[in-house]
């Protein structure tokens, strides 16, 4: 019954799926935060986008601090969440202990949410702490995947 590992009937896989879905939506949500700031700050990235703003003052600029901060945060998500999504799936296939696996998923998502709060709030060294803790969670899973894989 090797196939049934990849099934929502497998509690470890069901946990992975839920956290993967939440992490995906969290990352995509950064687009909405960026859009909110663009509309309220009247600052856009393409000339044609200024039609969404207050026409008198809408400008194309890339130096609004609030917008650029969210964009840096979104980029950090792009660097970290897609590898988690794939590595987490492969990690489930290594048949880890259920508790250990679920806490990997929880720790990753918690770190990314706390990283987000710290990035938006400009809080260091906490942002770095949560970045590296989330990073280590993914690396921990990746190491086990490589160890049980075949080169």
Binders of a copy of itself among residues 27 to 56 (CB under 8 A) are: 27-28, 30-31, 45-49, 51-52
The residues near 58 (Cβ < 8 Å, ≥ 6 apart) are: 42, 43, 44, 50, 51, 52
Q: Which of 53, 64, 93, 120 binds a copy of itself (CB under 8 A)?
A: 93
β-strand partners of 59: 43
The site for a copy of itself (CB under 8 A) is made up of 1-9, 11, 13-22, 24-25, 27-28, 30-31, 45-49, 51-52, 69, 72, 74, 78-80, 82-83, 85-87, 89-90, 93-94, 122-125, 127-128, 135, 138-139, 142-143, 145-146, 148-151
């Amino acid at each position: 019954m090797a196939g049934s590992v990849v099934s929502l009937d497998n509690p470890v896989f069901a946990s992975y799926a839920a956290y993967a879905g939440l992490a995906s939506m969290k990352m995509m949500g950064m687009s909405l935060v960026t859009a909110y700031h663009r509309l309220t700050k009247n600052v856009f990235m393409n000339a044609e986008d200024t039609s969404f703003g207050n026409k008198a003052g809408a400008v194309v600029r890339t130096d609004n601090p609030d917008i650029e901060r969210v964009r840096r945060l979104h980029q950090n998500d792009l660097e970290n969440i897609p590898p988690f999504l794939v590595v987490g799936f492969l990690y489930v296939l290594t048949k880890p202990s259920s508790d250990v696996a679920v806490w990997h998923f929880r720790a990753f998502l918690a770190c990314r949410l706390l990283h987000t709060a710290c990035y938006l709030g400009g809080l260091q060294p906490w942002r770095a702490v949560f970045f590296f803790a989330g990073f280590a969670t993914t690396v921990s899973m990746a190491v086990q995947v490589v160890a049980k894989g075949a080169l």
